[in-house]
């Protein structure tokens, strides 16, 4: 018999279970309760036979985490989070609540493949090393702070992965971000991936000026990669050299 209570915070990766870690699959199998947003629950459907599934919606994250912690005092519980739970996922909230209230439960977080990893490999290798990841969602963080971070990332010549690029209520944020990118980086390469590792996947590469004509097509299932001054696009591959060419004859 398993010890009674445990909370798993699980990164479900970008798509179906083939992109989840074995540990994540094991943890779901070990759980009696599965909590998560409907989208993530659907993606692991084949693992859920006989489990008690608690769906919850966006904006209900605090309630979801509290419920998961309460259940995990006596049961084995998986809290699902898309991609990696640590990037704009459930892990920061779980960590903050458990730490702030000195909650003593057995818990384990399991990393997942984040959108930046999935999208980078589909495009070629535009990230390549040091990079910045910035979400355009101003739900929890004011726009001024987001823009400031974007400006520093551009000044630092980091390739940038943009999460949460747009939504029905937040279209202007993407337009504002593109203006800042044009101001500081000029007509750079832009990689756009929608539904990475999921049905309906699309992978596109533009110059920034051309991309400006497609902003209306960008939605919340999309991640945008902003290339840096060394990013190149050849033979269908978007890549940022790591520097091997400086040291070796490649």
Q: Strand, helix or coil at 95?
A: helix
Q: CA–CA separation, 5 vs 73, rounded Å?
A: 5
Residue 39 within binding range of ligand SAH, rule CB under 6 A: no
Residue 163 within binding range of ligand SAH, rule CB under 6 A: yes
**Contacting ligand SAH within 223-242 (CB under 6 A):** 223
Angle between helices 171-185 and 143-155 (to 10 degrees): 30
Residue 126 within binding range of ligand SAH, rule CB under 6 A: no
Residue 204 within binding range of ligand SAH, rule CB under 6 A: no
Looking at the Cβ atoms of 115 and 190, the one nearer to ligand SAH is: 115
Strands (E), the chain: 6-11, 33-37, 52-56, 76-81, 107-110, 124-125, 132-135, 160-163, 189-194, 202-207, 222-226, 232-234, 237-239
Looking at the Cβ atoms of 149 and 230, the one nearer to ligand SAH is: 149
Residue 111 within binding range of ligand SAH, rule CB under 6 A: no
Q: CA–CA separation, 9 vs 86, rounded Å?
A: 10
Instruction: Compute the least distance from the CB of residue 194 to ligand SAH, in Å.
Output: 6
Instruction: Compute the least distance from the CB of residue 87 to ligand SAH, in Å.
Output: 4
Sites of contact with ligand SAH (CB under 6 A)? 14-15, 81-84, 87-89, 114-115, 118-119, 163-165, 193, 195-198, 220-223
């Amino acid at each position: 018999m398993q010890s009674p209570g445990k909370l798993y915070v699980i990164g479900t990766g970008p798509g179906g279970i083939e992109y989840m870690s074995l540990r994540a699959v094991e943890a779901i199998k070990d759980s009696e309760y599965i909590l998560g947003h409907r989208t993530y629950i659907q993606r692991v459907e084949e693992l859920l036979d006989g489990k008690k599934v608690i769906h919850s919606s966006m904006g209900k994250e605090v309630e979801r985490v509290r419920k998961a912690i309460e259940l995990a005092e006596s049961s084995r519980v998986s809290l699902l989070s898309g991609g990696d739970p640590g990037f704009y996922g459930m892990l920061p909230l779980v960590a903050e609540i458990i730490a702030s209230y000195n909650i003593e439960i057995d818990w384990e977080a399991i990393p997942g493949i984040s959108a930046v990893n999935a999208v980078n490999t589909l495009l070629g290798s535009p990230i390549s090393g040091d990079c910045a990841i910035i979400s355009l969602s101003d739900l929890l963080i004011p726009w001024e702070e987001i823009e400031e971070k974007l400006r520093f990332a551009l000044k630092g010549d980091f390739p940038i992965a943009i999460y949460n690029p747009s939504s029905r209520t937040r279209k202007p944020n993407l337009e504002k971000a593109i203006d800042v990118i044009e101001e500081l980086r000029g007509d750079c390469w832009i990689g756009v991936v929608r539904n990475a590792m999921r049905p309906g996947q699309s992978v596109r590469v533009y110059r920034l000026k051309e991309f400006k004509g497609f902003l209306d097509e960008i939605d919340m299932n999309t991640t945008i990669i902003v290339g840096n001054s060394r990013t190149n696009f050849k033979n269908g591959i978007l890549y940022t050299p790591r520097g091997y060419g400086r040291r070796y004859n490649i």
